[in-house]
């Protein structure tokens, strides 16, 4: 059991509490660039008038943030000049302006603030936004790179899911797909994590994957190879989705002819406020929208799920990949995300 040592900051009418926590991943998580079996997070509570909102920052190593950097950022915050949490735009703009980057640190405040607001209103946030949870697409379940034996085990554990997400980007790519196809014919989405460097080979793989009922390619090539990505997108038989290549709202316009769509993650874009704006702008530009996640507790996953009715594809399995979730919220039934009617982001502590 991890010790719960809370940092506490009193700021006018607000009280901010936060502590580090380490997520334990059920299976070693392998992508094109690295493997890991834990994810560091910071859990926060934002209190106003006796009502508490929950938030979370998740920091896979490749994002460049850490528990230490998040805690340092949170110690810079001073909300004492704000008299009400309903000054949402002003508060979150202030948070964003404190320091560049630090998007996961900013996201945990955004999530906690939305949870707090929903509780003060007595409504789940998808209802505050006027969204219909029946429109949430089935969530994918991630199959990380592994041996044939472990891949089969992972697939057998994912029988309820109507779509699977497969990590690619190494010399084992075809083995991964063939192994999964030996067990199931459900649609697949392929996440290459920038693993393919040559555009001709990437196109050849895209054509082969299309024959295997792969419905889209997520970040097939390095984000810096913009011309190669545009070339691939123009010729690919399946859509290409920007993940590492799209972080925030300001990135979207420049991606219009480079990818077929974008992957929005709360930890990349500073939280729910900007994620919703990104989904709406992408839709206006006729870009497909995927809603993704890191390995996270049900706190951040349930927060993201509030805007899932707006997207084409959901990949909200992060809490299912860990052993030590301390919240209960959005859950998956027969491959679909089910939102609770609890106010805010819809979670309780276990």
Domains along the sequence of the chain with CATH: 7-121 (3.30.390.10), 127-349 (3.20.20.120)
- pLDDT greater than 70 at residue 41: yes
pLDDT in tens, 325-347: 999 999 999 999 999 999 999 99
Mean pLDDT score, 162-177: 96
pLDDT given at position 5: 87
Task: Name residues whose C-beta falls within 8 Å of residue 20's C-beta, 6 or more positions apart in sequence.
Answer: 40, 41, 42, 67, 71
Show the DSSP H helices in the chain as ranges: 67-74, 88-97, 103-121, 125-128, 148-157, 173-181, 199-211, 226-235, 266-269, 272-284, 298-305
Is 0.75 surpassed by the pTM of this model?
yes
pLDDT reported for residue 212: 98
Mean pLDDT in residue range 117-124? 98
Provide mean pLDDT across the span 185-191.
97
């Amino acid at each position: 059991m991890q010790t719960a040592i809370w940092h506490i900051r009193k700021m006018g009418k607000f009280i901010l509490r936060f502590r580090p926590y380490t997520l334990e991943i059920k299976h070693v998580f392998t992508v094109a660039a690295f493997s890991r079996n834990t994810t560091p997070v910071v859990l926060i509570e934002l209190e106003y008038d006796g009502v508490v909102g929950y938030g979370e920052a998740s920091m896979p190593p490749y994002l460049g943030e850490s528990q230490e950097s998040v805690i340092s950022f949170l110690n810079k915050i001073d909300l004492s000049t704000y008299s009400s949490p309903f000054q949402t735009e002003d508060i979150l703009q202030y948070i964003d302006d404190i320091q560049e980057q630090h998007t996961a640190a900013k996201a945990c405040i955004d999530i906690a603030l939305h949870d707090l607001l929903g509780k003060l209103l007595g409504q789940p946030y998808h209802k505050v936004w006027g969204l219909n949870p029946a429109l949430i697409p089935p969530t994918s379940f991630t199959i990380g790179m592994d041996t044939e034996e472990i891949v089969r085990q992972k697939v057998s554990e994912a029988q309820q899911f109507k779509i699977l997400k497969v990590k690619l980007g190494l010399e084992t790519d075809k083995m991964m797909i063939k192994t999964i196809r030996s067990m199931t014919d459900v649609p697949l989405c392929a996440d290459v994590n920038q693993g393919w460097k040559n555009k001709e080979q990437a196109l050849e793989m895209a054509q082969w994957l299309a024959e295997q009922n792969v419905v889209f390619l997520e970040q097939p090539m390095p984000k810096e190879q913009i011309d190669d990505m545009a070339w691939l997108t123009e010729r690919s038989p399946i859509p290409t989705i920007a993940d590492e290549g799209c972080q925030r709202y300001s990135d979207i316009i420049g991606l219009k002819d480079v990818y077929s769509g974008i992957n929005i993650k709360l930890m990349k874009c500073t939280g729910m406020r900007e994620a919703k704006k990104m989904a709406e702008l992408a839709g206006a530009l006729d870009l497909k929208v995927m809603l993704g996640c890191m390995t996270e507790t049900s706190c951040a996953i349930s927060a993201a799920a509030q805007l899932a009715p707006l997207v084409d594809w959901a990949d909200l399995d992060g809490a299912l990949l860990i052993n030590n979730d301390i919240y209960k919220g959005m859950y998956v039934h027969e491959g679909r995300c089910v939102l609770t009617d609890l106010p805010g982001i819809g979670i309780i502590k276990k």
